[in-house]
Amino acid sequence: MRLSMTSDLWWKNAVVYCLDIETFADGNGDGIGDFRGAIQRIDHLDRMGVTCIWLMPFFPTPDKDDGYDITDFYNVDPRLGTLGDFVEFMRVARDRGIRVIADLVVNHTSDQHPWFKEARSSRDSRYRDWYIWSDKPEPDDPKGVVFPDKEDSLWEYDEKTEQYYYHRFYRFQPDLNTANPEVQDEISRILGFWMELGLSGFRVDAVPFLIEQVTDSGDDLPDPHEFFACLRAFLSRRDGSAILLGEVNLPYPDLVKYFGNDLGDELTMCFDFISMQRTYLSLAREDARPLAAALRERPNPPRDSQWATFMRNHDELTLDKLSDSEREEVFAAFGPDKDMQVFGRGLRRRLPTMLGGDLERIKMVYSLLFSLPGTPVLFYGEEIGMGENLEIEGRLAVRTPMQWTPHRNGGFSDADPSKVSIPMPKGDFGPEKVNVSAQERDPDSLLAWITRLIRHYRDCPEFAWGKYTVLDTGVDAVFAHRADCDGETVVAVHNLGDAETEVELTLEGFDSSKVLTDLLVDGRIEIDDSGRVGFPMGRYGCRWFRASAPETAPADSADPS
């Protein structure tokens, strides 16, 4: 594979790392993370092999939804630094060859945003039509409330102007009227502003809601997808390699529409929420079939598009696309206490605690993630197996400060601990036990493993670029797939079960002129003339292979398992 010819599609096999400046590293000792602190830690990401940082919102905010309630789209929240610090962060990331994207949260603003304050000052305000107003809540209200613990309606009454405004999320997050051309222009300006400062794209928040037609005005409204096509066109005019990575949690047939036409002229990448949820079902059952079914069902993205795969993000681990009984199975396995669940649809735990700290199993899950067809996205702290702190309310339980050292405040901040307002986990998942500095020195650590997986993932662009096929393994617990690209084939096999087993695969188009070379350990496996290969899989075992001619494979064929 000639990657040099495709480097403008850098995102096809990127390694994306999501971090929140507020919780990553505190550079000025005030107990809050900031750009200066994050700059000092970019080398950690570089050493791991991260190629793209996704910054969660860092804009001025009353911080009632962890920064997803913005009051100024053109600045940096003073708690986190200045525009100057941001530019310095960009310079250091670029120096390490790391691209940066950021959250684009334009479905709504904070109710403290000057636009909204102005809009609600009078029905004649110049900003009135930047938001969505109605004389009464629409008849199907409150269907679709996203945060049912706090909200029971999508409409909030504004006393002064005697109309209701629409808010898909919290009532302090009024939705922008993205059908308004002035709002569309402003969104382009926001994109343009941050691109001039070096961003390579955006993680687009709340995608389906951004273009929803809220009121039935009876008018012939334009196709809402045009919004994204225009946004992508604007982005590409400014920088052809910039991306839009969309948060679209919808079933595949609806989701795939957000890529746009056959070439992919809307969102560059979409998170694959479906295979993520089915992975957890598979893990809970120790049965690979739900995941295999999801990947067999998953449509191929258009040519200039890609799936983004992940195991955890900053929100609840949503299980909303599983059936009620499937969700109950996952709850029973990984979050049986009510306190571990949220909104009746998700879990507020991180993977390592859900898997009881079983390092072998955790390593297998990340091996699976990096071999899945798509571009993997990590949430900060996953690389060292951080846990959550259930004492923190709701979704914030997984947004605790990064654990750098076993020392004061986990090395996150020099401040007096009383000044660090977000409490870290304690016990087995606290910074004394789980931290970067210890794992950097331990070749068997999760950090060392993830660093290795990233290297192999980058060495095997077939996984991200290739045509994939889910293979029959004959063992329910074992998931296997192959990826083919430019005459090269890689195969990955994962045992989701805790029992050792024998696996037999048939590799179409192969015979004994090729062997499978183990990539994660030394060794190779013969293929017979019918393309069959058989090998053992250890408890929660994982194996990556490359098919090659015997003379290019290592001589030692000892079975490593």
- Positions that interact with ligand NOJ (CB under 6 A): 65, 68, 105, 169, 205-206, 247, 315
Q: Which helix (H) or strand (E) holds 537?
A: strand 532-537
Residue of 154, 194, 181 lying closest to 170 (CA atoms): 154
Whole-angstrom distance, CA of residue 294 vs CA of residue 289: 9
CA-based Rg of the chain, rounded to a whole angstrom?
Answer: 24
Residue closer to ligand NOJ by CB (options 158, 316) is 316
The residue annotated as part of the active site, out of 247, 315, 388, 462, is 247
Residue type at 404? W
Largest CA distance in the chain: 80
Q: Are 543 and 520 in contact (CB under 8 A)?
A: yes
> CA torsion 183→258→347→285, rounded to 10°?
180
Closer to ligand NOJ by Cβ: residue 172 or 259: 172
Distance in Å, CB of 313 to ligand NOJ, minimum: 7
CB of 342 to ligand NOJ, least distance (A): 12
Q: How far apart are CA 213 and CA 215, in angstroms?
A: 6
Q: Which of 205, 304, 462, 518 is an active site residue?
A: 205
What tokens were used for 443? 């070749």
> How many C-beta atoms surround the C-beta of residue 34 within 10 A?
27
Give the nearer residue to ligand NOJ in terms of CB position, either 151 or 329: 151
Tokens describing residue 92: 């250091």
Q: Does 205 participate in catalysis according to the annotation?
A: yes
Rank residues 306 and 313 by Cβ distance to ligand NOJ and give the closer one: 313
3-state secondary structure 437-502: HHHHCCCCCHHHHHHHHHHHHHHCCHHHHCEEEEECCCCCCEEEEEEEECCEEEEEEEECCCCCEE
Strand partners, 532: 506
Q: Which is nearer to ligand NOJ, 341 or 439 (CB)?
A: 341
Nearest to 98 by CA among 66, 61, 65, 51: 51
Q: Are 489 and 507 in contact (CB under 8 A)?
A: yes
State which amino acid sits at residue 283: L
Torsion sign (Cα): 466, 497, 333, 360: negative
Compute CA distances 550 → 100, 503, 555, whole Å. 41, 21, 8
CA end-to-end span of the chain: 29
**Residue among 105 and 354 whose Cβ is closer to ligand NOJ:** 105
Ranked by CB distance to ligand NOJ, the top (closest) residue is 68
Rank residues 64 and 458 by Cβ distance to ligand NOJ and give the closer one.
64
3-class secondary structure, 377: strand
Which H or E run contains 383?
none
- Any catalytic annotation for residue 247? yes
Strands 243-246 and 269-271, sheet pairing: parallel
Query: Assign residue 220 a region: left if phi > 0, alpha if psi is -120 to 50, beta otherwise?
Result: beta
Nearer to ligand NOJ, 16 or 525 (CB): 16
SS3 state of residue 399: coil
Residue with tokens 């067809």: 373
Pairing state of beta strands 99-104 and 52-55? parallel
Give the number of other CB atoms < 10 A from CB of residue 240.
8
The nearer residue to ligand NOJ, 68 or 468, going by C-beta atoms, is 68
| Min separation Cβ 116 and ligand NOJ, Å | 15
Extract the tokens encoding 11.
């995102």
Closest CB to ligand NOJ among 183 and 288?
A: 183
- Give the residue numbers annotated as catalytic, written as ranges: 205, 247
